[in-house]
Chain A
Amino acid sequence: MISARNRELTALVPVAVLLTAGFAAVFAQENTRLDNLSLIYGAYFLAVCVAAHIYLRIRLPDADPYLFPLVALLTAFGLVMIYRIDDSLARDQANWFVLGLILFALTIQFLRDYEVLERYRYTIAAAGLLLLLAPRLPGIGQQVNGAYLGVKIGPLAFQPAEFSKICIVVFLASYLREHREVLIVGARRVLGVTLPPLKHFGPMLVVWGASMFMLVFIRDLGSSLMFFAAFLALLYVATGRFSFVVIGMAMFAAGAWFFASTVPHVQDRIEIWLDPYASPTGSGYQILQSIFAQADGGLFGKGFGQALITIPGTDDALLPAAQTDTIYSLIVNEVGLFGACAVVLIYMLIAARGFKIALLASDGFSKLLATGLTAVFAIQAFVIIGGVTRVIPLTGVTLPFISYGGSSIVANFVLLALLLLISDRARREAVEPGGRAQALGEA
Chain B
Amino acid sequence: MNRQIVKLFGFIVVLFAILVGFTSYWAVFDAEALKEQEANKRPLLEQQQIRRGRILAADGTVIAKSVAKGRGDERRFVRRYPEGSLYGHPIGYSFVREGDSEFEQFHNDQLVGEESEFSSILDELRGATQEGNDIVTNIDPAAQRTALEDLEAEGFGAVVAIEPSTGAVKVMASNKSFDPNRVPFELEQLNRNVIETPLLNRATQGLYPPGSTFKVVTAAAGLESDVIGPETTIDAPGTLEVEGQPLNNDFSEDFGPIALDTALTNSVNTWFGQLGQQLGNDQLFETMEKFGFNSTPPIDLPDDQVYESGVYGEDGPLSARDPVDLARVAIGQERLLATPLQMAMVAAAVANGGELMKPQIWKRVVDPDGRVSERLDPSEYSQPISAESAAELTTAMEGVVSEGTGTNAAISGVAVAGKTGTAETPSNRACGGGLDENQAWFIGFAPADDPQIAIAATVECTEAFGGDVAAPIFRNVAEAILNGE
Q: Spell out A's residues near B (CB within 8 Å).
A: 233, 236-238, 240, 277, 280-281, 284, 288, 291-299, 308, 311-313, 318, 332, 336-337, 340-341, 344, 347-348, 351-352, 355, 358-359, 364, 367-368, 371, 375, 378-379, 382, 385-386, 389-391
Which bracket fits the contact residues of B? Answer: 35 or more
- B1 adjacent to A237 (CB under 8 Å): yes
B residues 21-53 in Cβ contact with A at 8 Å: 22-24, 26-28, 30-31, 34-35, 37-42, 45-46, 48-49
CA distance A367 to B30 in the complex (A): 42
CA distance A291 to B19 in the complex (A): 13
Q: Would you give 26 A-B contacts (Cβ < 8 Å), ordered by A?
A: A240-B3, A280-B39, A292-B35, A293-B42, A296-B42, A311-B41, A311-B97, A312-B45, A312-B49, A312-B74, A313-B69, A313-B76, A332-B26, A337-B27, A344-B23, A348-B13, A352-B9, A355-B9, A359-B2, A367-B5, A371-B5, A371-B8, A382-B16, A389-B19, A389-B26, A391-B22
Known interface pairs A318-B45, A337-B23; A295-B35 also in contact (CB < 8 Å): yes
- B19 adjacent to A337 (CB under 8 Å): no
CA distance A391 to B23 in the complex (A): 10
CA distance A120 to B15 in the complex (A): 33
- B31 adjacent to A298 (CB under 8 Å): yes
- A337 adjacent to B24 (CB under 8 Å): yes
- State which of B7, B18, B30, B69 has its C-beta within 8 Å of the C-beta of A386: B18
Inter-chain contacts of A358 with B (CB < 8 A): 1, 5
- B76 adjacent to A312 (CB under 8 Å): yes
- State which of B4, B7, B16, B23 has its C-beta within 8 Å of the C-beta of A332: B23
B365 CB to closest chain A CB, in angstroms? 27
**B12 contacts A by Cβ under 8 Å:** yes
- B42 adjacent to A318 (CB under 8 Å): yes
> Which chain A residue shows the least CB distance to B31?
A295
- B5 adjacent to A359 (CB under 8 Å): yes
Known interface pairs A288-B40, A347-B16, A348-B12; A299-B5 also in contact (CB < 8 Å): no
Known interface pairs A288-B40, A312-B49, A318-B45; A355-B6 also in contact (CB < 8 Å): yes
Inter-chain contacts of A385 with B (CB < 8 A): 19, 23
B residues 73-116 in Cβ contact with A at 8 Å: 73-74, 76, 96-97
Known interface pairs A288-B39, A308-B45; A299-B27 also in contact (CB < 8 Å): yes
> Which chain B residue shows the least CB distance to A368?
B1
A277-B39, A288-B37 given; name 12 further pairs at CB < 8 Å: A284-B39, A292-B34, A294-B27, A295-B27, A308-B42, A312-B45, A312-B73, A332-B23, A340-B23, A351-B13, A351-B16, A371-B5
Inter-chain contacts of A295 with B (CB < 8 A): 26-27, 30-31, 34-35, 40, 42
Known interface pairs A337-B28, A382-B16; A240-B1 also in contact (CB < 8 Å): yes
- B9 adjacent to A351 (CB under 8 Å): yes
CA distance A304 to B31 in the complex (A): 20
- State which of B12, B28, B38 has its C-beta within 8 Å of the C-beta of A351: B12
**B70 contacts A by Cβ under 8 Å:** yes
- A292 adjacent to B37 (CB under 8 Å): yes
**B20 contacts A by Cβ under 8 Å:** yes
- B5 adjacent to A294 (CB under 8 Å): no
B203 CB to closest chain A CB, in angstroms? 29
B80 CB to closest chain A CB, in angstroms? 16
CA distance A297 to B5 in the complex (A): 36
B47 CB to closest chain A CB, in angstroms? 11
Most chain A CB within 10 A, of B16, B20, B23, is at B23
Q: Spell out B's residues near A (CB within 8 Å).
A: 1-9, 12-13, 15-16, 18-20, 22-24, 26-28, 30-31, 34-35, 37-42, 45-46, 48-49, 69-70, 73-74, 76, 96-97
- B19 adjacent to A344 (CB under 8 Å): yes
Q: Is the interface of B mostly helix, strand, loop or mixed?
A: helix
> Which chain A residue shows the least CB distance to B72?
A31
Inter-chain contacts of A240 with B (CB < 8 A): 1, 3-4
Inter-chain contacts of B16 with A (CB < 8 A): 344, 347-348, 351, 378, 382
CA distance A328 to B482 in the complex (A): 62
- A382 adjacent to B42 (CB under 8 Å): no
Inter-chain contacts of B12 with A (CB < 8 A): 348, 351, 375, 378-379, 382
B186 CB to closest chain A CB, in angstroms? 17
- B19 adjacent to A367 (CB under 8 Å): no
Inter-chain contacts of B20 with A (CB < 8 A): 340-341, 344
> Which chain B residue shows the least CB distance to A284?
B39
- A298 adjacent to B27 (CB under 8 Å): yes
A287 CB to closest chain B CB, in angstroms? 11
CA distance A358 to B1 in the complex (A): 9
- A237 adjacent to B8 (CB under 8 Å): yes
- B5 adjacent to A355 (CB under 8 Å): yes
Inter-chain contacts of A299 with B (CB < 8 A): 27-28
Nearest 6 interchain pairs by C-beta: A280-B39, A295-B34, A389-B22, A295-B31, A294-B26, A237-B4
Known interface pairs A299-B27, A313-B70; A318-B41 also in contact (CB < 8 Å): yes
A41 CB to closest chain B CB, in angstroms? 23
Inter-chain contacts of B38 with A (CB < 8 A): 280
Inter-chain contacts of B27 with A (CB < 8 A): 294-295, 297-299, 332, 336-337, 340
- B45 adjacent to A311 (CB under 8 Å): yes
B364 CB to closest chain A CB, in angstroms? 32
Inter-chain contacts of B70 with A (CB < 8 A): 313
- B40 adjacent to A367 (CB under 8 Å): no
CA distance A238 to B28 in the complex (A): 41
CA distance A294 to B73 in the complex (A): 23
A257 CB to closest chain B CB, in angstroms? 22
- State which of B2, B8, B31, B96 has its C-beta within 8 Å of the C-beta of A311: B96
Inter-chain contacts of A311 with B (CB < 8 A): 41, 45, 96-97
Inter-chain contacts of A341 with B (CB < 8 A): 20, 23
- B76 adjacent to A382 (CB under 8 Å): no
Most chain B CB within 10 A, of A332, A371, A389, A390, is at A389
B445 CB to closest chain A CB, in angstroms? 45
CA distance A233 to B7 in the complex (A): 10
Inter-chain contacts of A233 with B (CB < 8 A): 8
A409 CB to closest chain B CB, in angstroms? 22
Inter-chain contacts of B6 with A (CB < 8 A): 355, 359
Inter-chain contacts of B45 with A (CB < 8 A): 308, 311-312, 318
Most chain A CB within 10 A, of B23, B26, B27, B37, is at B27
Most chain A CB within 10 A, of B7, B16, B19, is at B19
- B34 adjacent to A355 (CB under 8 Å): no
Inter-chain contacts of A367 with B (CB < 8 A): 1, 5
B179 CB to closest chain A CB, in angstroms? 22
A204 CB to closest chain B CB, in angstroms? 17
- State which of B23, B35, B97 has its C-beta within 8 Å of the C-beta of A389: B23
- A281 adjacent to B19 (CB under 8 Å): no
> Which chain B residue shows the least CB distance to A240?
B4
